[in-house]
Structure 1
Amino acid sequence: MYLCFNTISVYKMKVVFLYLSFGVLLSETRGGSLSISTRFKDGDVSFMWNGSSSDSYDVALPGLRDEVFQVNGTQHTVKNAISYKSIMLDVKAKGDKNFSRIIYNVSKVTRKEGDNVTITWNAPYFPSSGIYNVYHTNEGNVKSVITIVGDAEKGTPQNEKYDYLSKPLNSTNITFMIRDITLDDAGYYSGGTKEEDARSGGGVVLIVLGKPLTPNITGSLNISVGNISQMFCLSKPTSAPNYYAQHVNLTYTWFVNGTKLDKEMGQSIELNVTKDHKYNNYTCTAMDHQLESNHSDPVQINPLYKPDKLLINQMPTVENEKLTVKEGGTIGPYNCSADCNPPCEVKWRYNDTSGKIKDVLPQSKAALILQSVNRNMSEFRCVAIYDTNYRERYIIELNVEYLDKPLAYINGEQVQGHDSAFQMSEAETVNLSCYVNSNPVPQIKLTKGIAATISEEKNNDWLTHTIESSQCSDTGTYKCMGLSTGFNNTENTFGLSVTCKYFTTCFCNYQMAN
C-alpha cells in the first residue's frame, strides 16, 4: 500500500510536473499570490506559505472540513496525515480574489516484522554534486542510511540490511530494499543532499506491524452472585512508528477455559455472576492487522454468596423431627459443611433447657465430636457465620430420655429410706404417693410386701393411693417403682407403722432399693 508526497505545480495556465514516488502534490495559484510548501513530521503535515506572519488568512480543507476558517500566521498543520489518502489545502490572503491550492498525497508501506520491503520514490532530479542521501526519521531522530554517489559503482549503505537497487546510480527513480525489518526500521524515509531534506515532502512512511503487548485483564472479580462482573482486556499496539500506533484500534477476543467465546465481546465483557463462574478461567488476546498477541494471564471471577443450607455428614436418624438419645449417651460425630464464599466460620453450639446458647467444647470447627448428652440439653446446632449480619443454622433437636428414682410421700411428706417407718394412728386417713421424673412418661407401681401391687399408673408421673381408715394390717413395707422401656426399673421402699389402739405393733425394718 503506497501513498506518496509528490508535486504538480500549476501557475495560471502553465503546468509543471514534479514526480515524487506515486502520489501527486499539486500547487495551483489560480490568481492567488501565495506559494505553498510542506513539511512532514511525526505523522503530521505542516503547510506553509509566503506572506506576513502577522496577517490572518482564509484557509479551507475540502473533504476534511466544510467551512472556510481563519488562520493567524503563515502555517497550518494537519494532524495524523497518514490516515488520509490525500489532503487538499486552499489558502487566500486578504487582498487576493482567488485561493492558492496544494494537494498533498502520502505514501506508506505496511509490512510485518521479519519481512523484506522495497521502498521507492521518484526524485525531481539527481543532485549536480553527485551525492544523494536516503534519510530515515523516527521518534525525532534523523540519520542517513544510504549514500549514493552518482559516478560510483553502487550506493553505500550504512548497514548491511540495506541494499540500493536503482540503476544507474544517478537515476531519479530511488529504489532500495530493507531486509528482515524490525520495529526500529519504521518511520519516514526521504532523500536529499542535506539533513533538512529528511522532513520535506516526497518520502515514504514505513509502517512495521508487531504483535500487541500481552494483555492484562482488569475489572471487578469479587462480585456477589446475581450482580454483573465487568472485565477489561488491556493491551497496547507495538506497531511502529508511534504516530501510527497511537491511532490503531485493536480488536479483542475472549476465551473461557481455553475456548473462544462465540459472541463478539470487544475490549470489555460483562457477565451475570453465578456460583459456577468460580470454575471458569478467562483469558483474552488483542489483534492488530491479523497479528494476535499472546494470551493474557488467566483470571477467575470470585463469586460471593451466602450459604443456602448446611449439610450434615452422617445425618442422624430422627423421629418426629427430634433425635432421641438416653441421658448419658452420646451423639456424633457429625461433620457440618456450608457452601459459601468467602468461606463461613462453622461452629457447633447447644441450647440448654433455660434457653442459654453455649459453645460446644472443645471446638473442632465443622466436626461435632462425640458428645455426652444430659437432660438439660435441648438442641445442638451447627452455625455457619457468613458475616456479622448473616448466619445459617442447622438444628438437631434432642429428645433426651431418662428415668429417675421414685420419690415417696405419705400425707404429702416425703419419706426418706427405710431406716424408720412413718408413724400413723389407727383409723387415720393415709395418702401414699409416688412421683417419678421421667421422659417419656413412666409406668408407676405401688407394691406392698413381696411384689403385691396395690396401685398402678401408666400415663402419669404421679401415683396416689388413699387408705381411708388405716388399720394395724396396713403396717408394712411399701415400694414405689418406676418403669420405662429401655431402662432398668427404679425403686424406692419405705415403711408405714400404724399404731393400734388395743395392742402394740411390732417395729419392722424396711428396705429401699434402686
Structure 2
Amino acid sequence: MRCAAANIVQKVGFLSAIILLLLSCFDEGISAMLDDHEISLEAANVQLTIHIPDNEIANSASYILIRLDRGTGHDQIEVIFLMKDGPSVTDLFKDRLTVTLTNRRRVDMLLRNVSALDAGMFRCFSSSSKTIIPNCGQLLIVIRKPDPPTVKVLPSSTAVVGSSLHLVCQTHTRSLPSGHGLTSQLYWYDESGTYLDPYLTDNQRIHINEDNQLVIEQLRRADSSLKVYCTSADNTGDVTTRIVSEPSTIFQVMPEYGPTVQDIQSTPEFEIDHVVHKSIGQSISYRCQAQCVPSCQIMWMYRPYGGAAGFGEVMNLVKKNVLVLDVSRTNEGSYRCYAENNHATVYKGFYLEALYINNPFVEINGLVRSNARFVEGDTSVNLSCDFDSNPGPLVVWSSPLKTILSSSQRAVGPQEKLTSNGIHLRSYSSHYSLTSVQCEDSGVYRCVGSNNISIGEGRIHIIIMCSPSSADIPGLKLLSDYVWDIPHALSIDFIIRALPEPDIARIMSGVKGQSRKEEIPKDFVISKIQNYDGKSYLTKFTLTSRRNLDMTDADRMFIMTIESSEFTKDFSFRIRPRGAPREIFNLTATDINHDSLSLSWMPGFNGGETQTFAVEFRIQNQPGHQDEPHQLTEEQAWILVANNLTDFPIGQLIKVQIVSLRSNTEYVVRITASNKLGTSVREITITTTDPPEETLGVGAIIGIIVCVLVILAVVAVVIYFFVYKKGRGKHEDEDDDDSDEVGTQEVMAPKQQQTVSLLDQGDIQHLKETIDEEIQTIT
C-alpha cells in the first residue's frame, strides 16, 4: 500500500496531514490509484480512461467486468461488460455513458451529467467473479461544496493570558467518495471579513503559521474582543473545480485569567472590612461577582463573632454568589466573598454587627427547663426568663389564657456570658411567682421581652396535677341522677377536671342490693376528647351502653373508677326512668293552732320533667272512706288552696301556710305532684287546736255564736248559689297561671278564699253591710 504522506505534510502541515492520511489510506485501491483519478463537478461531463494490464488474470478472463465501488461497503454496481465482440453498457448507465475500446487494452468512457452517485472507484473484475484485476481501474472524485468548518483551540495550546493561543480550522468535506484523499485549502478572516493573508501577518503577534493555524502570541485580556472565522475548499488543483464552503461560526477569543481583589464586585458595594449594622429581623442581600475567565466559583464564607474556628461556607443559599440573611444573633460575625478559578483565589469581606433580642432561656425554681409538674395545693412556683438582648428589654408576663399578669418591667442586666461555641451573650433576667397553685394554673406561661429593635418570647409549660373531679360546666357536669327514656341505650357526656389526663378504669353498677361489674368495652363503650376547650386539665368523656336499659335498671347506681398516672377516684350516678313524679317526702305540719297551720315538704324525683304541686284539704271523712267521694258531705269536699307551686330551685324545701281553719277540727291535707307524664299524691291528717279562752259572758258568747251561725248560714246559701251554681264553672276555666311562689305561702281559709276568689266587689260589700247590721242588732 502506498500513501502520499510526505506530500501531505508539506502541503497542510502535521495535524492536517494526519487527518488526510487516515482518510487516504482507508482503501487500498483508492490509495493505489491516487495519481490516476479524474475530478468532476456535479452535472458536468467527464472522460475516464482505464488501461487493461497485460497479466495472467486479465488475459485468461473470458470477459472483463467493470464495476463501480462507491466505498460505502454495499454491493458494487456493474457498469460495463468487455466482451470479445465489444463493450456492453448496463441499463443503469447506457443513457449517460459512451464507451470506446482500443486494442482491447484501453477503455475510454465519456460519462455525462455526473451525479454524486457516480463517485467512486471503477474496478476491473475477471469475468463475473469477484477476482479483482490488479492495476486496472480509475477513481472518479465528484466535488461538492464542503460543510462550514469549525474553529477550535489546538489541544496542546492554552488560552491563558500571557501564553500563545493556536486556533485550528477543522474542515468537513462533502466530496465523494468519502476517502477521496484531496487536501483542504484554508482561508482565515477577521470579524469584519478581512482576509488574513499568511504572508502579510508573518512575524506579527497575531499571524498564521505554516500549518495554517491562527496564532495569537502573548495573549491579553483585551484579546477577548477578537473574533475570527474560516472557510475551506477541497484542493482539486484547478480553480475551475474548487468550491469554497460557507464561513464557520464566528469564534470569539476568550483569554483565561485568574481574579484579583479589584475584579470582585458587590451589589450593594462595600469596602474591605466594612462594618454593617443591622437590626435582628432585617434582611441583608449582597450579590458578589468577579471578572475572571473561566468563570469564577463564588462562595460566601463566615466566621461568627468571637469564634475560635476559621471561616466556613455559608449554607442554604439559593445562589452561592448571593448572600441573603435574616439577621439574627447567631449570624453576627465576619463574611467574605471568595472568587476562585483554576488560576487564582481572592476574597473581599465585611463584618456584620447585629442589634437584636433573642428568645430567652427559661428557668423554673432556679433550674433551666421549660416544663415541670407540681401537685395542686400550697406549692409556690418561681418562673424566670433570661434574654440575650442588645439593648436590654422591657418584659411582660402573661398567663395560659393570655391574660397580662404584670405591667412591663425593666429586665435586670446585662451579665456577659460566653457560650461554648464562642458567642457572647448579653443576659437580662425577669421573674414571676405563682403561689397556692391550682389545676387551672396549668398551661404555658409567656414572658415577652421587647426593645427598640424587636421582641423575644419565652414559654414555660407548667402542669399542676390535680385529683379527678367533675367540671362545673353547664350541660357537661357529671350528675348524681340521669333521667333516661326506657327502653333506650344509655349515653351520657361529662367533663372531668384532672391532670394528668384521666381514664375510666372500671365501672360497677348495682340495684336493689344486686351488683355487677360492667365490662369495657363489652358492656360500655368509652370515648374521650383531651384538652377540651383548649384546656389541658379538662377531658370530655362519652359513656355509652351497648344494651337498651329496661325497668330493671330503674334507680341503678353506677360507680366509675377514674384514674390518672397520679390519682384514683370513684364517681357515682343513678339512672332514673322518665315518667310521673315520685311522691314528696318529709311532709311535715308545723305551727298548728286553732285556725291555721304550716306545711313543708321535700319534692320527690320529678320524673325528668318539670313538676308542680297542688295543695288541697278537707274535713276528715267520718261517714265513709276517702275513696268514696259520693259519701262526702258538702263540708267534706276537697278545697284547693294552692296550685302550680313550682319545684324551683329543684330539690329545695317547699313551705305553705293555711289559715282560717276551724278549731278543734280534723283535716286531711293532700299534696299532688304533677308533670306532663303523670301525678303522685301524698296525704297527711292534722287536727287544729282548741280556740283560746274568751272574756265575754256566757250569754254574750251564746248570742254571738247564734248570730255568727245565722250569718254563716246566710253566707253559705249565698256562696252555694254564687259559687257552686255560677262561679264553679268560671273557676274551672281559669288556667294554671295562679301558681304561688316557692317558699312560705299564706293560704286563706276556705270560705273567705272562695268569697275573695269568686264574688265581685259589689257582692262582697253587700255581705259586709249585712253582717255589720246583724252584729249591731245582736249587740
Same fold (TM > 0.5): no
Q: Under TM normalisation by the shorter chain, which class is it?
A: 0.3 to 0.5
Q: Which has the higher helix share?
A: 2
TM-score (norm 1): 0.39
- The higher-RCO structure (CA 8 Å, 6+ apart) is 1
Decide which structure has the larger Cα Rg and report it.
2
